[in-house]
Amino acid sequence: MSDAGVALSLSGVSKRFGGLVAVDGVTIDFASRRLNAIIGPNGAGKTTLFNLISGEIPADAGRMRFRDSDILGLAPHEVVRRGISRTLQIKSVFGGLTVTDNVRCAVLVHERVMAPLRPVSSFRAAAARADALIDEVGLSAHRHRLASTLSYGDVALLELALALAAEPRLLLLDEPVCGMGPQETERTVDKIREISRRVDVILIEHDMEVVFDIADFIMVMAQGAILATGAASEIAAHPKVQEAYLGSPEDD
Amino acid sequence: MTVARVRAAALAILLVALVAVPWALPALGATFWVNIVAEILIWSLLAASANLLFGFVGLLSFGQALFFGFGMYGVALSIEAWGFGFWPALATGVLAASAMALVTGVMAVRLTWHYFAIITVVFSLIFYFAAMSMKWLTGGDDGISFSPPSVFALGGHTLSLGDATVQYYVILAIVSACFAATALVVSSPLGLRFKAVRENDRRAALVGINVYATRLIAFVLAGALAGASGALFAFFGRYASASYMFYHVSGEAVVWAIIGGSGTILGPLFGTGLLIVFRELVSTVWEHYLLAVGAITILVVMFAPRGLAGAWNGLVAGLLDRGAEEPRRAAIPEES
């Protein structure tokens, strides 16, 4: 990680829902050019942390530095424009639109095109980029299908294409292989690994096999706070982590 | 034949039929119906306004009559007070409605679903009662009458709305232009943003769409459509009345849009046409004809949830695409 720099720097980031401290003073630098993973038991605050970063819920306290600017307090669409894209735990695309229109929409928005009196189809460069993204995630065969008719794994891939359309410098993946079969998981893991060579990635994942397989760096959360950080091997051997995972019956 | 060709042919037939109305209907001994068709065309813009919001952006408004009313009064007052000509008065009506949509939209589009529906009703009720009580300006329930200026005056020739045929063609031209503009916007990148917001506003924000601004733009455009509808109706009736700002009028527009096919371009025209023709035929013999309108609405929602235009698109796609490799994306009513 030496000279690669920092992908995202959080300091003292906190969020409270009534009496529940969902995220409790999280301070960490996620390094660039490294596949970062966040793990932790259910309710540890992982997704809430993502929601804070993506601007979907306002943080109560803390700072978030991304590429020399403070992104805390920005609206979600502004965070995307700064270069942070994310996927959601429950995969989320534009169901009533075709795969092509889904991705074209994301590409045209990224290019800040509104052009209210020109048909979408006349934007050749954007169409070509959308096609390339569809090819990249392996959905070429389903181009003309409505997104709502895709299998769950394909929806996840489409969502990934939507996230990549914004040419992010940081990609947040919330349980990218959740609900996938073994084959889809393998395909998606390969894709994530490939993407992480050019885009900084932070992912939340419950599938420990996947996490320990691909993550260079792991941050463990429990009850909103950081429990441990380190390389996969260190984390696996960490007594607190074992306690958090094995010691409480609600975890898998 | 492809789906696109069938659609183009159907559109051409529809246009030819509409152009032929001022000759064809009197030839059939139904001169009275020319004005009914003109009225259908005018009201279809109000339905198109409700449809732009509900069918393309996912916002159910029961307040479009407010902007219809502003379109009416924009025309009536600018002619009465400032002696405006036809086109400046029309523009004033549309602009007044758009401006009002901007003012109310700034607050309304912060909300969605039933909250949005409720606030649109609230706004239209506030202005309905305000307009009703400001008799010195609006004439209240009685409204204000005016004599319409000529549409064109060149040399010795003038085109006047007093001629039913001229009036019909002026209305047809303006309504067609509004539908064409809507079709353009809906198929543009802006229209794609509308649909993205309709489908999934969370994901829309996460691909970088300013959801609030997108909804506000749609709300103002819908206000302009409703304003054009109201402006034309003022010219058509030679008066403006606050009673048209009541939310019943908005509700009717929503029903027309849904029966015609929300999320389609021409669906609102079909829905408005069907129900106004139905009203003209049945209301004279049965005063509770609205019961039947309710039944029709329920049946359409149950058996053709995409409305008349959606059912037609599905039919065309089903007949032509059977066995074709292409999945049935044409079943989604984008055009028609």
> Is B309 a residue whose pLDDT tops 80?
yes
> Is B79 a residue whose pLDDT tops 90?
yes
Could you report the predicted ipTM of this complex, rounded to two decimals? 0.91
pLDDT per position as a tens digit, B130-150: 998 888 888 888 889 888 888
Mean pLDDT of all residues in chain B? 89
Q: Of 2.60.40, 1.10.3470, 1.10.10, 2.70.98, which CATH number belongs to B3-331?
A: 1.10.3470
Q: Which domains does chain A have, with CATH numbers?
A: 1-83+168-252 (3.40.50.300), 93-167 (no CATH)
CB contact under 8 A, A76 and B205: yes
Q: What is the mean pLDDT of residues B220-229?
A: 98
- When pLDDT is cut at 50, 70 and 90, the band that residue B333 belongs to is very low
CA dihedral A108, A113, A117, A122 (to 10 degrees): -50
Q: What is the mean pLDDT of residues B248-275?
A: 92
> Is B69 a residue whose pLDDT tops 90?
yes
Task: Annotate A32-70 with DSSP letters as a single string.
Answer: TTSEEEEE-STTSSHHHHHHHHTTSS--SEEEEEETTEE
Which carries the bigger pLDDT value, residue A224 or residue B324? A224
**pTM confidence score:** 0.91
What percent of chain B lies above the pLDDT cut of 90?
62
Q: Could you tell me which residues come within 8 angstroms of residue B195 by beta carbon, excluding any fewer than 6 positions away?
A: A94, A96, A97, A101, A105, B56
> Is B82 a residue whose pLDDT tops 70?
yes
Separation of alpha carbons A32 and A7, rounded Å: 4
Distance from the B105 Cα atom to the nearest Cα atom in chain A, whole angstroms: 19
Separation of alpha carbons A149 and B199, rounded Å: 14
Residue B331: closest CA among chain A residues belongs to which residue?
A: A146
Which run of H or E residues covers position B68?
helix B64-82
Separation of alpha carbons B209 and B48, rounded Å: 24
Say what the pLDDT of residue B329 is. 45
Chain B residues with CB inside 8 Å of A121's CB? 187
- When pLDDT is cut at 50, 70 and 90, the band that residue B39 belongs to is very high
pLDDT per position as a tens digit, B101-118: 999 999 999 998 889 999
- When pLDDT is cut at 50, 70 and 90, the band that residue B322 belongs to is low
> Is the torsion defined by CA of A85, A90, A93, A99 positive or negative?
positive
Say what the pLDDT of residue B159 is. 83
Candidates A103, A104, A109: best to mutate against B (most CBs of B within 10 A) is A109
Which pairing describes strands A84-86 and A225-230: parallel, antiparallel, or unpaired?
Answer: unpaired
Give me the phi and psi of A222, to 5 degrees please.
-150, 135
- When pLDDT is cut at 50, 70 and 90, the band that residue B321 belongs to is low
Residue B325: closest CA among chain A residues belongs to which residue?
A: A144
Distance from the A101 Cα atom to the nearest Cα atom in chain B, whole angstroms: 8
CB contact under 8 A, A92 and B210: no
Distance from the B336 Cα atom to the nearest Cα atom in chain A, whole angstroms: 16
Say what the pLDDT of residue A251 is. 47
Candidates B54, B57, B186, B192: best to mutate against A (most CBs of A within 10 A) is B192
Distance from the B114 Cα atom to the nearest Cα atom in chain A, whole angstroms: 21
SS3 A130: helix
> Is B259 a residue whose pLDDT tops 80?
yes
Residue spans per domain, chain B: 3-331
Q: How many CB pairs under 8 A join A and B?
A: 117
Q: Could you tell me which residues come within 8 angstroms of residue A104 by beta carbon, excluding any fewer than 6 positions away?
A: A120, A123, A126, A127, A130, B192
C-beta neighbour count of A127 within 10 angstroms: 17
pLDDT per position as a tens digit, B184-205: 999 999 999 999 999 999 999 9
Q: What is the mean pLDDT of residues B80-97?
A: 94
> Is B238 a residue whose pLDDT tops 80?
yes
Range among A145-149, B154-158, B159-163 rated most confident: A145-149
Q: Could you tell me which residues come within 8 angstroms of residue B234 by beta carbon, excluding any fewer than 6 positions away?
A: B71, B72, B73, B75, B76, B93, B240
Contact A199, A231 (CB under 8 A): no
> Is B304 a residue whose pLDDT tops 90?
no
Say what the pLDDT of residue B328 is. 43
Say what the pLDDT of residue B330 is. 41
Say what the pLDDT of residue A3 is. 38
List B263's β-bridge partners, or say none. Answer: none
Per-residue pLDDT of chain A (252 residues; tens, 9 = 90+): 333 588 999 999 999 998 899 999 999 999 998 899 999 988 899 999 999 999 999 999 999 999 889 999 899 999 999 999 999 998 999 999 999 999 999 999 999 998 888 999 999 999 999 999 999 999 999 999 999 999 988 999 999 999 999 999 999 999 998 888 888 888 889 999 999 999 999 999 988 888 988 999 999 998 999 999 998 888 888 888 777 776 655 544
CB contact under 8 A, A118 and B185: no
Say what the pLDDT of residue A242 is. 77
Say what the pLDDT of residue A178 is. 84
Say what the pLDDT of residue B331 is. 44
